[in-house]
Amino acid sequence: MTKVLVRWLLLAGALLLVAHLYPGVVVKSFTSALIAALVLGLLNTLLRPILVLLTLPVTVLSLGLFLFVINALMFWAAASMLDGLAVTGFWAALVGSLIYSLCGMVIDTVIERLFPQY
């Protein structure tokens, strides 16, 4: 349970970092970042696999590059649902989702080293 909470807090911090690094993404507060990280996690868990399956032919033809579009759509969808997260357009969602994904990979690596599985 601690691992999940630490990951959630770090991902909320990553959203604040995305907003700091890229002007097309705006996060109002840390509380908004916590809610946005939760919504992004839920969208990526529930909706993303369905979209990946439905767009599999396009993903194969684009050699996997269409997955970046799906990530951007998830980021944009979360921003459209929340008041505390704003994205100026599709390209801002694409860049924001790329930065957020990179931060997420680093966070996952750190979490695995901090909380090794026995």
CA distances from 91 to 25, 48, 68, 75, 112 (A): 10, 19, 11, 11, 32
Residue 118 has a pLDDT of: 55
Q: Are 99 and 21 in contact (CB under 8 A)?
A: yes
Which residues 6+ apart lie within 8 Å of 69 measured at CB? 94
What's this model's pTM, rounded to 2 decimal places? 0.90
pLDDT in tens, the chain (118 residues): 788 999 999 999 999 999 999 999 999 999 999 999 999 999 999 999 999 999 999 999 999 999 999 999 999 999 999 999 999 999 999 999 999 999 999 999 999 998 887 5
